[in-house]
């Protein structure tokens, strides 16, 4: 491997980083750039993937093995080895595929797989928070930490959200695992964002009330905000999340309740669950609501098969887009759950190829606008079912004993996970972040809806691993 780029023994009292290596593509690549769409440009922060393994062949051996695998993989993912730059002609951020490299670290800790808590997660990731310029900011870091408490090890992958969304992110992980096992790519990535370019001139055909001026938030992307994002995330106040489990059986029962009155003939598990959670969340925040208050539900949809021609399943970038459903406070409280589901279904139907292109053009004209939920609004982030493949991710040492996707501390969205930290895949695991008083109110309303919907929900105890 290449020589380390930092001196040893940096880190926290629980985790010490011993060496950091630069990992570059294993073969020379033609220098190129990757255009960043108006959707990409709203994701100026890093996402996190954390895997714990019991069968340890030797952590140094793991580091060397991953170095070789990652170097091979970067040939297919030149953007992950590149750097962000500002195009001097367009004044837009783009990725310079200059093979500057990703970073790979070796660390040690006295923690064990079981003992590592949300308070320790930051130290298991190699932070680029000290970068002083975009040229210094790696878009991908990997840290391998030996866990002395039980001789296991953790692999923490920090990748910039400008590179990919959850769907293309899991394909990156599956490709890394495949290469690491000595196989070929699981799915060759496609970085072509032509379909996501704004028209010239931009043509806004819809009102787009879903967008708000977010200047100064984590969604407003500038070189300075990108450099400060990781530090801001680590310093943000941490609030405990609570997780509720909706099994497939209970989701099916919920869908029967929704379709019972005939208003909707069928609905998806997401639609039924989102309606239930939206109502409970809205009622928990009722102190600021009047009968005519317009409540909004923000949720995301994958546009890969909405845009025409389709982006394709192998599209590597940000292909998810926010949708907004609206309902008055009075209707939310008085109407059956089926009406809320119908409202969500109608919002989903709004997201067509024409609407998407209008939205992209709107963002071209209003680069500081994006989806931000207000005080009387609810935001749901549903992770694709494909993410459940993470619990089986075999890098050559068997499947992980524990999988975590630590959320941004500033993220207030209710998150639907397709699995839990122990690898259970049964329905949805709903992670809720609320202040103590609203949490109690939320649970009271969930309990009332439980009776209304024939015991379709089972609350779990506080689940810090989803933080």
Verify that 263 and 374 share a domain, yes or no: yes
In a domain, 10, yes or no: no
Verify that 270 and 205 share a domain, yes or no: no
Between the CA of residue 34 and those of 115, 190, 368, what are the distances in Å?
A: 41, 11, 21
Token digits of residue 292: 């005519």
Q: Residue 398: which region, alpha, beta or left (left: phi > 0; alpha: psi -120 to 50)?
A: left
**Token pair 């391998």 in the structure block, residue:** 144
Verify that 222 and 281 share a domain, yes or no: no
Verify that 333 and 421 share a domain, yes or no: yes
Token digits of residue 26: 């294993």
In a domain, 9, yes or no: no
pLDDT digit string (tens) for 81-135?
A: 999 999 999 989 999 999 999 999 999 999 999 999 988 999 999 998 788 899 9
Q: Which of the listed residues 174, 207, 232 is the one where a domain comes to its end?
A: 232
In a domain, 467, yes or no: no
Verify that 300 and 259 share a domain, yes or no: yes
The residue range of the domain holding 92 is 15-232
**Residue 152: in which H helix or E strand, if any?**
strand 152-160
Q: Which of the listed residues 206, 232, 258 is the one where a domain comes to its end?
A: 232
Verify that 164 and 259 share a domain, yes or no: no
In a domain, 462, yes or no: no
Verify that 451 and 323 share a domain, yes or no: yes
Q: What pLDDT, on the 0 to 100 scale, is given for residue 214?
A: 65
In a domain, 65, yes or no: yes
Those residues of the chain that have pLDDT short of 50 are 3-9, 11, 217-218, 455-467
Query: What one-character DSSP code corresponds to residue 216?
Result: T
Can you say how many angstroms the Cα of residue 105 is from the centroid of all Cα atoms in its chain? 23
Q: How many angstroms separate the CA atoms of 395 and 51, rounded? A: 10
In a domain, 3, yes or no: no
Q: What pLDDT, on the 0 to 100 scale, is given for residue 459?
A: 46
Verify that 130 and 173 share a domain, yes or no: yes
Residue 61's CB is within 10 A of a number of other CB atoms, namely 11
Q: Which of the listed residues 232, 252, 267 is the one where a domain comes to its end?
A: 232
Query: Hey, what's the torsion of the CAs at 315, 363, 384, 141, to 10 degrees?
Result: 70
Q: What pLDDT, on the 0 to 100 scale, is given for residue 294?
A: 87
Verify that 278 and 381 share a domain, yes or no: yes
Verify that 223 and 248 share a domain, yes or no: no
Q: How many angstroms separate the CA atoms of 442 and 283, rounded? A: 7
Verify that 385 and 319 share a domain, yes or no: yes
Query: What one-character DSSP code corresponds to residue 239?
Result: -
Q: Is the pTM of this model over 0.85?
A: yes
Token digits of residue 443: 């649970």
The number of CA neighbours under 13 Å toward the Cβ of 268 is: 8
In a domain, 111, yes or no: yes
Q: What is the CATH number of the domain that holds 98?
A: 3.30.559.10
Q: What pLDDT, on the 0 to 100 scale, is given for residue 56?
A: 87
Verify that 222 and 245 share a domain, yes or no: no
Do residues 120 and 147 touch, judged by C-beta distance below 8 A? no
Between the CA of residue 420 and those of 4, 59, 281, 465, what are the distances in Å?
A: 36, 26, 22, 9
Domain count, the chain: 2
In a domain, 7, yes or no: no
Q: How many angstroms separate the CA atoms of 3 and 175, rounded? A: 26
Nearest to 163 by CA among 66, 303, 43: 43
Q: How many angstroms separate the CA atoms of 128 and 159, rounded? A: 10
Q: What pLDDT, on the 0 to 100 scale, is given for residue 12?
A: 56
């Amino acid at each position: 491997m290449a020589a380390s780029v930092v001196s040893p023994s940096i880190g926290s009292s629980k985790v010490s980083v011993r060496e950091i290596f630069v990992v570059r593509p294993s073969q020379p690549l033609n220098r190129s750039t990757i255009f960043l769409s108006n959707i990409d440009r709203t994701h100026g922060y890093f996402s996190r993937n954390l895997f714990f393994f019991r069968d340890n062949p030797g952590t140094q051996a793991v580091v060397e093995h991953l170095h070789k695998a990652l170097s091979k993989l970067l040939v297919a993912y030149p953007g992950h080895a590149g750097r962000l730059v500002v195009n001097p002609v367009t004044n837009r951020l783009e990725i310079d595929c200059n093979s500057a490299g990703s970073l790979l670290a070796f660390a040690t800790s006295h923690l064990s797989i079981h003992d590592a808590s949300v308070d320790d997660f930051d130290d298991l990731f190699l932070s680029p928070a000290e970068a002083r310029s975009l040229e210094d900011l790696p878009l991908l870091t990997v840290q391998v930490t030996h866990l002395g408490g039980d001789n296991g090890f953790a692999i923490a992958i920090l990748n910039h959200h400008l590179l990919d969304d959850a769907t293309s992110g899991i394909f990156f992980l599956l490709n890394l695992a495949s290469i690491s096992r000595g196989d070929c790519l699981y799915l060759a990535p496609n970085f072509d964002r032509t379909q996501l370019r704004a028209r010239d001139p931009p043509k806004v055909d819809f009102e787009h009330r879903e967008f708000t001026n977010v200047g100064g938030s984590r969604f407003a992307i500038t070189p300075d905000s990108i450099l400060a994002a990781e530090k801001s995330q680590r310093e943000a106040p941490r609030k405990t999340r609570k997780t509720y489990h909706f099994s497939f059986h209970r989701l099916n029962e919920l869908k029967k309740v929704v379709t019972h009155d005939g208003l909707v003939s069928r609905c998806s598990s997401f639609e039924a669950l989102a309606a239930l959670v939206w109502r409970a969340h809205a009622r928990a925040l009722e102190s600021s609501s009047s009968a005519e208050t317009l409540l909004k539900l923000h949720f995301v949809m994958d546009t890969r098969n909405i845009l025409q021609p389709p982006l394709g399943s192998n599209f590597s970038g940000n292909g998810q887009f926010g949708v907004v459903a609206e309902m008055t406070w009075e209707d939310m409280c008085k109407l059956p759950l089926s009406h809320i589901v119908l409202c969500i279904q109608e919002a989903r139907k709004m997201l067509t190829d024409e609407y998407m292109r209008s939205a992209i053009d709107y963002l071209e004209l209003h680069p500081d606008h994006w989806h931000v939920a207000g005080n009387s609004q609810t935001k749901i982030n549903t992770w694709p079912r494909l993410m459940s493949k993470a619990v089986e991710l075999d890098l050559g040492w068997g499947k992980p004993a524990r999988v975590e996707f630590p959320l941004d501390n500033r993220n207030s969205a209710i998150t639907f996970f397709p699995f839990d930290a122990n690898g259970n895949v049964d329905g949805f695991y709903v992670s809720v972040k609320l202040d103590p008083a609203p949490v109690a109110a939320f649970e009271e309303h969930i309990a009332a809806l439980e009776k209304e919907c024939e015991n379709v929900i089972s609350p779990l105890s506080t689940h810090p691993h989803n933080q």
